[in-house]
Amino acid sequence: MNEQGSYAEAPDFQLLRYDISANVAIITLDRSETLNALNAELLLELSLAFELAEADLNVRCLIITGTGRAFAAGADIGNLQNLSDVFSGREAALAGQDVMNTLSALPFPTIAAINGFAFGGGLELALAADLRVASREAKLGLPEVGLGLLPGYGGTQRLPRLIGQGRALDLILTGRHVSAEEALQLGLVNRVADNALSEAKDLAAQMSKNAPIALGLAKEAVVRGLDVTINQGLEIEADLFGLVATTSDMKEGTRAFLEKRAAVFKGQ
């Protein structure tokens, strides 16, 4: 680790690429021959990549995307076919959920740049990110019931919280695919663009110029507040506001505003 807290060298990933540019970590799924299907090895590499980004104090935002025609076309069906009892099925679901939870819990903004197909576990991966940007050609869906399964990597829980119970059940129980435009109308994605990754990078740049601690605590306030009453959520907000008020970045941000200059945040 260098003096800035940045881990310069990533592990020797085989199924994904990990890059950092302008304080933004970019993870690219690289199993294009399988439409970036999420097998056990790729899930492990994703978990390691998320941990690597979290350990790097220079990272202020993370983008995840895919190569070729797919963001991720689901879990690896060959692996799922080997499930034979309640225990193995439960363990497979928990393993996938653990990776998605690691992404969801990262202390900075995360963006899924959905460059193509995002089905099943691939859509569940995108749902675990804070924001979703889809290319105009993207297709999204949770088709598990057509395989005799149900979404097991968090889809039955995150999708209703994002778009509401009725809309989520429509997608889950029909297993249908939706276009990027319909996904935007449903609230499933935040933006649609000609180039999802380019749009995600622009969005990340907008967020990354803000105070890192404030970004993380604002995200925490929203996420924790969704699981409690409004009054409890307001208490959480007040507590975190009190915490951020003690930071050097707050002093710098307010001073820069009064002095009519750009703030220089240091994450302190």
- Which residues are catalytic, by number? 124, 144
Nearest CA-CA partner of 49 in 85, 91, 89, 99: 99
Residue type, 153: Y
The strand pair at 117-119 and 70-72 is best described as: parallel
Q: Residue 2 has which token pair?
A: 């260098």
Nearest CA-CA partner of 239 in 254, 224, 251: 224
CA angle 268, 240, 209 (to 5 degrees): 45
CB atoms within 10 A of CB 258: 8
- Rounded Cα distance between 162 and 189, Å, is 10
